[in-house]
Each structure stands twice: as structure tokens, then as C-alpha cells.
Amino acid sequence: MSINGKGTPVNSRSSRNDDAPLLEIRDLAITFDTQNGPVNAVRNAHLTIMPGETVAIVGESGSGKSTTALAAIGLLPSNGRVSGGQIIFDGEDITNVSEKRIIELRGNSIGMVPQDPMSNLNPVWKIGFQVKETLKANGLDDGNSKARVAEVLSEAGLPDAEARAKQYPHEFSGGMRQRALIAIGLACRPRLLIADEPTSALDVTVQRQILDHLDRMTTELGTAVLLITHDLGLAAERAEKVVVMYKGQVVESGPALEILRNPKHPYTQRLVNSAPSLSSRRLQSQKAKDVLAAAVEDIEESTPDVGDGAHPAPVHVSHATPSSEARKPAGKGDTILEVKNLTKEFKLRGALGKSSQFKAVDDVSFTVKRGSTMAIVGESGSGKSTVAQMALSLLAPTEGSILFDGVEVNTLKGKALFDFRRRVQPIFQDPYGSLDPMFNIYRTIEEPLKIHKIGDSKSREKKVRELLDQVSMPAATMHRYPNELSGGQRQRIAIARALALNPDVIICDEAVSALDVLVQAQVLNLLNELQEDLGLTYLFITHDLAVVRQIADQVCVMQNGRIVEAASTDEVFNNPKQTYTQDLLNAIPGATLLV
């Protein structure tokens, strides 16, 4: 039995007296065939999961953790293959079994909860139909599927399950979509559940609710869990054992708290040192540089990656310096962004053609000083992203105003609006949706330079190279496409694009939530340095309060469309006034385990 950071047992799930491993991965090797020849994505990987046990695989983006899990369920991409080792499930070697046999195991014996609910739920199928298809595919449609679908959705924590079954994915919140994926993954009562970053895009309170519910469900079913995550605090809270992967290899494994509190391998030490913690006010620049310098000693020797499943492309750490085109910081400390009594209402279509008004943002006011960082935090649906979209002039407010450099944003038109777009740039949460899959990386970053008629082709290419270096991506990346990069790498490209025009304000909507801790530390350090050098201002939308502690000067806490608490970062974290703020802080996974 494992003990979590609060001194309580976790993950003692198995009701069996079975000492035999449920899953064994022995010396696993996985190769991807690419245009440049075969690439070894995983080498000599090994792990063991006992019945009812939770094991977490941690590692940076591209370390091979998802690829290892996908091999266990027979879902490698078409250009990937197991080139060595064994995968043994419940005593059976399934490394090279027939497609028919792996389909028999998939769903019934091994379930999966993928990372991104929007790309893994069919947008044109109702939720209930998708659950029914899972039951049908695994031979469990007993003729009373409607009742069974409602039961499965209810077990996953969805209220009013029968009504929810008739809805489409776009009608669900992010947390509800994730619950639907959990329902599908556990619908057939598998003995092993692979959960690939199941809550990475969710705010901390919803994350805790879903993980608690997942724990209860798997405890009742005696299901073992293979948890893939880059969140070390979450691994410490939820897993009995941790397996650390780096460049396609397992470099350390053992009891979760022992690994996280006393890491032996240098890479594990770097992961722990880079993890956001509540013990520091902001990233200390020299400390972050030391951590990052150590982190790239071996990474620079790695071979090019082949996407989410392989080890990352070479990383080059550079520290931002002002370019010749950059604006010098002027008037630092003056108000650059002012939000006054901002309100946004949406019309909702109801039953029988009736409509109602939903107030997503309700009388919100705050000011952001030039060269500072304002963080807006809150649960999913609190209104924080809606505020960001209005600040970007992508949504018009119902009431109130937004002033940028003293000018009302909502009144801007023509050239004035075009100039505003150059000075205020976004970094969105989802790199899948914010990068055009038909553009290579060079064209993606060059596009804003061309639109704003900056430079000629030669100078733009030089600028693209500089930007790639700033976000620690090799220059060769410019010839590749988004689908050839991992999620974390795609987000770095989105950040490079936002920096291309040397903006005054960058609005970051969950800009680092998809990144592993090493890349996250690097990006946050880069953002801090850019702010110091260029006087950049950030409006930082996030659900990760540990990140807020590191980067923000001021914090606004939003709940149900309203600001319920606003103060300096130190005051909010050290002396939160509202119960809601206290709940957000208490929900941070592993907050007391990694300090």
C-alpha cells in the first residue's frame, strides 16, 4: 500500500490475491520509419504493473511515454513498429499477436482515456451513440443499450445522464468531455486503463474532481491504471510507482514519493527542480538558467523526433535579446491595458425555441501596468478566456470598455485596428487548433511578418531562425509541418509566431498548460527575460496556480463571470481572503509533496 503526501492510503485497488503482474514490458524497442530512415523512438523500456495498481510514466514531451503505452494497446501509428522486447498482458505475450486478438483485448481488457477530448470525440455523433458504439464493438450491447449508456455516463459523474447522452461534444464543457472519455474507456470494465494526460487541459478543481472519481471507479472495478503525465505533483498524489522516461529510455523507476523526493538520475533531478512549486515568488533567473543549462547537456545529442511518440529534437537554450526592430521599454509602470465594468452576455437557445441570456462576464474591472504580468485564474467557465477574447478585440463587449494605451479597443477600425493587431498578440491554449496544418513551420512564423510587410524574404528567414532559437527549436524545424511535431513543440511554435511582431502586450490563454515541466520552465524563463529586456506586458490566463506564482505580479480570481479576489500575487497566495481562492490553492496537485 502506498501513502500519499497527506498520510492517507492511495490506489490500494486490487481485490485479488494475485501476485502475478498484470502488465510487463520487457526491453521494449519501438522504431518509426521516416523519410530519413528508421528512428529508434523507444529503447530497452521496462515496467511492471500489478493488478489494481497505479503506475505513472513521467517525462518531457517526446520522451516516448505515450508511444510505450500505445504499443501496449496495439495503437502505434502506421509507420511505427515494435522492433524488440516483449509486452506481456495477464501472462500472455501480445507483442506480435494477430489484429483480431488485439481487438479482442482492446476495450474489454485494456481501456484507454486519450488526452484531447475534442479530437477524440466525434463531433457529429451524440455522446450516447459513441458510448453505445464502444459497447457494441466489444460485444456488450445486450439489447438494453439505452439504459446501459445512461448507467455508464452516470458512473463517470455526468449529471442527468439520459439527457446528456442526447447531446453533442460541443455542448459539453472540457471537464464533461473528459468524463465522457472516461466513461467510454471504462464502459467494458477493463482490467487495465491507460490514461494519457487525462486532465492536462483542465483547471485544478475540475482535475481533482475527475481524478477522485476515476480513483473511485477503478477501485470498485479493481482496475489497474497506467497514468501518463508530465505533472510530477499529480504523479506523486495518484500513483504508487513512477517510471521516468528520457530520450526513449527508462532512466529511473520506483515508489512515487521516493523517486520525487530523492531522485537519483540527473534527468529526474532536473524534472523535479523544474517543477512549479509554491515555495518561490517568481522564477529566479539564474536558478532557472542553471537548471536549463544542465537539462540540455544531453538533449543536444538526441536525434530528430518523429512526433508525439519519439524523443525531442535537439534543444538549444538561448536568452532573448532585443532585436533591432524591438520597441524599447518606455513609460514602464504606466497603465497600458484598462478594463472597465466589462460585461459579456450570450444568447442561449432553449427548448421550444425560447432563448435566454447567459452572462459570461459580469462587471469586471482591472488595470495592467506596462511591463508587468496580470494573471486571471479560475475554474473552467469562470469567464477568464472570454475576457481575453474581448481584450484581443475578437469579441465585442455587451457593456463596459477596454482601453489599450488610452484608446477604446472596441472602436478601432481599419488601419488603427491593423496596428492594434501588431501590438497585441495572442498565444492560445490549443496548438492543434492555432496552427494551420497545411503551413510548414517557416510559413507559419513568417506569415505575420508578410501580412504587416516587415522585411524582405532574406531578412524574414533570418528572423524566423532567431525566433526558433528563442523558443529552443532547431532551425531545421522550419521545413516541417505541425503534425510532425509533439504537442509541446507545436506550442513553442505558436509562441515564436506571437513574438514575431515584437508586440507590446501578449495575451497568453493557457499558453504553457500543454508543456512538460522542463520546457515549461524554459518558456516561463524566456517570457520573464523578454519582459525585462523589452518591457513586454502579459495578460496570463491559466488554471495552473503554481505557474501564476512564478510569473505574475498581480492576480485576479474569477468565479461565475465576476472577480471575487484581486491583489498582488504574494497576498493572494499567502493570505487568500475568499473560500473559493483557498479551494483553488488546495486543489493544486502535489503542492506539499515536492517542496
Q: What is the pLDDT of residues 540-587, one digit of tens each?
A: 998 778 788 888 999 999 999 999 999 999 999 999 999 999 888 887
| 245-250 mean pLDDT | 94
Q: What is the pLDDT of residues 345-402, one digit of tens each?
A: 988 765 545 677 889 999 999 999 999 999 999 887 788 989 999 999 999 999 999 9
Instruction: Quickly count: other Cβ atoms within 10 Å of residue 394's Cβ.
Output: 11
pLDDT at 28: 96
pLDDT at 320: 36
471/172 Cα distance (integer angstroms): 34
| 430-448 mean pLDDT | 90
Pairwise pLDDT comparison (324 vs 403), residue with the higher score: 403
575/150 Cα distance (integer angstroms): 43
pLDDT at 298: 41
Q: Which amino acid, 419? A: D
pLDDT at 514: 67
Residue owning grid cell 511505427: 80
pLDDT at 322: 33
Q: What is the pLDDT of residues 405-432, one digit of tens each?
A: 999 998 999 999 999 999 999 998 777 7
Q: What is the pLDDT of residues 69-99, one digit of tens each?
A: 999 999 999 999 999 999 999 999 999 999 9
Pairwise pLDDT comparison (209 vs 26), residue with the higher score: 26
pLDDT at 154: 87
Nearest Cα to Cα of residue 463 among 484, 442, 482: 442
Beta-carbon contacts of residue 484 (< 8 Å; ≥ 6 apart): 306, 307
Lowest mean pLDDT among 166-175, 247-256, 309-318: 309-318
Nearest Cα to Cα of residue 54 among 195, 209, 201: 195
Beta bridge partners of 471: none
Q: What is the pLDDT of residues 453-471, one digit of tens each?
A: 999 999 999 999 999 988 8
567/28 Cα distance (integer angstroms): 51
Beta bridge partners of 343: 399
175/169 Cα distance (integer angstroms): 11
Segment holding 13, helix H or strand E: none
Is 335-586 a CATH 3.40.50.300 domain?
Answer: yes
Label each residue of 451-514 as H, E or C: HCCCCCHHHHHHHHHHHHHHCCCCHHHHHCCHHHCCHHHHHHHHHHHHHCCCCCEEEEECCCCC
| 307-321 mean pLDDT | 38
What end-to-end distance do the CA atoms of the chain give, in Å?
23
464/474 Cα distance (integer angstroms): 11
pLDDT at 171: 85
pLDDT at 141: 65
541/61 Cα distance (integer angstroms): 22
Give yes or no for a contact between 231 and 513, defined as CB atoms under 8 angstroms apart: no
500/479 Cα distance (integer angstroms): 18
DSSP-derived secondary structure letter, 106: B
Give yes or no for a contact between 260 and 272, defined as CB atoms under 8 angstroms apart: yes
| 325-341 mean pLDDT | 69
388/418 Cα distance (integer angstroms): 18
| 6-33 mean pLDDT | 70
pLDDT at 144: 66
Its sign, for the CA torsion 558, 562, 565, 568, is: positive
pLDDT at 369: 95
Cα three-residue angle 328-333-336, rounded to 5 degrees: 80
- Quickly list DSSP for 407-458: EEGGG--HHHHHHHHHHEEEE-S-HHHHS-TTS-HHHHHHHHHHHTT-S-HH
135/584 Cα distance (integer angstroms): 37
pLDDT at 324: 32
Average pLDDT, rounded, for the chain:
82
pLDDT above 50: residue 9 = no
- Quickly list DSSP for 147-207: HHHHHHHHHTT-SSHHHHTTS-GGGS-HHHHHHHHHHHHHTT--SEEEEESTTTTS-HHHH
Q: Where in the chain is the domain with CATH 3.40.50.300?
A: 2-109+190-274, 335-586
Three-state secondary-structure class, residue 392: coil
Does the pTM exceed 0.85?
no
Nearest Cα to Cα of residue 537 among 390, 413, 407, 404: 404
523/591 Cα distance (integer angstroms): 21
pLDDT at 290: 47
Q: What fold characterizes domain 2-109+190-274?
A: Rossmann fold (3.40.50)
Q: What is the pLDDT of residues 481-525, one digit of tens each?
A: 998 887 678 888 998 999 999 999 999 988 887 677 777 787 788
Q: What is the pLDDT of residues 341-351, one digit of tens each?
A: 999 998 876 55
H and E: helices and strands count for the chain: 22, 22
Nearest Cα to Cα of residue 476 among 298, 248, 312: 312
Cell triple for residue 324? 533591432
If 0-12 CB within 10 Å is exposed, 13-18 middle and 19+ buried, where does residue 130 land?
buried
Q: Which amino acid, 289? A: K
pLDDT above 60: residue 283 = no
Cα three-residue angle 566-571-572, rounded to 5 degrees: 55
Q: What is the pLDDT of residues 191-223, one digit of tens each?
A: 999 999 887 767 777 778 778 888 888 888 889
Cell triple for residue 188? 467494458
pLDDT at 584: 85
pLDDT at 459: 95
497/452 Cα distance (integer angstroms): 13
Give yes or no for a contact between 86 and 21, defined as CB atoms under 8 angstroms apart: no
Give yes or no for a contact between 257 and 29, defined as CB atoms under 8 angstroms apart: no
